[in-house]
Amino acid sequence: MQQAKFSRIGFVLSAAGAAVGLGNIWKFPYITGLYGGGAFVMVYLVTILFIGVSLLLAEMLMGKRGGSDVVSNFEKDAPSHKWAWAKAGYLFVIGLIIMTFYSVVIGWIFYYLYLAITGLPTTLDQAQDIFNHLYHQSPWIQIIAHLVSVLIVGAILVRGIKGGIEKFNLVLMPLLILILVGLMLYAMQFESFSKALSFLFMPDFSKLSAEAIIRAVGHSFFTLSIGIGSIMVYAAALPKESNLFSSALWVAFLDTFIALLAGIVIFSFLFQFGGEPAKGPGLVFMSLPIIFAKLGTVGTVVALLFFLGMAFAGLTSAISLVEPTVMYLESRWGWRKSKAVFWSSFFYFAFGILMILSVTDTTQSYLMIGKKTLFDAVEFAVDSFLMPLGGILIAIFVGYAMKKEDVRAILSKDMGDTLFAVWYFSIRYIAPLAVLFLAYNALFV
């Protein structure tokens, strides 16, 4: 099947669009707040640099060489055990599993956009009531908002790589950066701006727990979109002469830059208005709206821009979570694109409803897995088990199953022999060990 190709900038922005998501604007600030700031950020940055970039490059390499869906890419280069390796390719399904809750959270953002227009909560009690009411007692609002997200994502996906994914990212990614830079310039006038900077960048290693390290490593995988084939299928649509190494560096840079930017903005606002950094997942949904409401009309504009930016970030990642499945159904099952998009969307829409019902007060008790709600259980499984599994399969495949000469042929002109040797060592030894460490700790410690 002949796919339309990305332009170079289109690829970098689309891959960055995949990477920059709710992970950067919602999750990064709240876990940084929970785990004490600077030292946590340091571990996260070091992991991105030494493991994240290597794996990102490995996944891009598989996509560019294979040029097809994830299963076919594994099959193509498997020297032996073709059948078994092709099975590894089914890791693309993780994207749909992530979407069952990711799309629900995008729905919450739509709801907060609506609140930004109609009136944000002004006290903490009110803010908590509104969030809890949405989360525990308003399944219909959540289902409708989730459906809106499903429809937008589907509408982009049916237009394909060139007319949908690339176009959407070329517009939204620069807009997102503009919004965040604008908000940062606004926050620079606060006294708390320097406090936010030192909270994020002055490490206090005495605050660093073992759990914080695991979360930092796990988050660096999630935020770079490693291990589920998203970046791989984008790279499959790269033109021949593109430089993978510099693309991987750009994507990692943009992803990190935007997470830090969002962190600076959010903590400047929080510290300026006496908010608590260690608030957990409700940080941007509960603490920030009250602050925006305090600022009057300016606050409404700021709130609209903030939630709009967050919606953009979420949607550009969402399309990359579904595209691997769409591509598989098209190329392996011969489905028309519209049919592939419809059934993939239907799948995560339906399971997304179960996620919503698993946190709704009246239905929660039917949808528990052990002590966790289905929602929490799936999120936990993705973060601590499924994504690391995908990462390790890709590292082992590129490091051991693919022929070294094939790998070198693609990369050495991009990065030179010395860097290639360092990267190859990292893919064979460092990345798999780090992933094993992460999975072991997350599951058993």
Residues that bind ligand PHE (CB under 6 A): 18-19, 21-24, 222-223, 225, 228, 230, 317, 320-321
* Distance separating alpha carbons of residues 119 and 289, to the nearest angstrom: 10
| Nearest-angstrom CA–CA distance, 212 and 209 | 5
Got the DSSP string for 381-398?
HIIIIIHHHHHHHHHHII
- Please identify, using beta-carbon distances, which residue of 28 and 245 lies nearer to ligand PHE: 28
Please report how close the Cβ of residue 258 comes to ligand PHE at its closest, in angstroms.
10
Q: Taking Cα atoms as reference points, which of 438, 431, 40 lies closest to residue 206?
A: 40
Which residue number, 130 or 311, has a Cβ lying nearer to ligand PHE?
311
Look-up: residue for tokens 């729905």?
107
**Closest separation in Å from C-beta 406 to ligand PHE:** 26
Nearest residue (CB) to ligand PHE, 14 versus 317:
317
Instruction: Report the nearest approach of ligand PHE to the CB of residue 23 (Å).
Output: 2
Nearer to ligand PHE by Cβ, of 35 and 222: the residue is 222
CA angle, corner 198, sides to 195 and 202, nearest 5? 160
DSSP assignment letter at 361? T
Q: Which tokens sit at 148?
A: 């809106």
Nearer to ligand PHE, 31 or 127 (CB): 31
Q: How far is CA 112 from CA 26, 121, 127, 131, 206, in A?
A: 13, 11, 11, 9, 37
CB of 59 to ligand PHE, least distance (A): 10
Q: Quick one: 256 or 317, whose CB is closer to ligand PHE? A: 317
Q: How far is the CB of 310 from ligand PHE (least distance, A)?
A: 10
Contacts of 442 (CB under 8 A, 6+ apart): 214, 218, 383, 384, 385, 388
Whether residue 91 contacts residue 70, with contact meaning beta carbons closer than 8 Å, is answered with yes
Task: Give least dist CB 30 to ligand PHE, A.
Answer: 13
Work out how close the CB of 64 gets to ligand PHE at its nearest, in angstroms, rounded to a whole number: 18
- Burial of 184 (C-beta count, 10 Å sphere; 0-12/13-18/19+): middle
Would you say 56 and 47 are in contact if contact means Cβ atoms under 8 Å apart? no
Give the phi and the psi of residue 89 in degrees, each rounded to 5: -60, -20
Q: CB-wise, 37 or 227, nearer to ligand PHE?
A: 227
- When the beta carbons of 169 and 223 are compared against ligand PHE, the nearer one is 223
Dig out the tokens for 145 from the structure.
Answer: 């908002």
Supply the minimum distance, in Å, between the C-beta of residue 224 and ligand PHE: 6
The span from the CA of 200 to the CA of 204, in Å, is: 10
- Could you say which DSSP state residue 280 is in? G
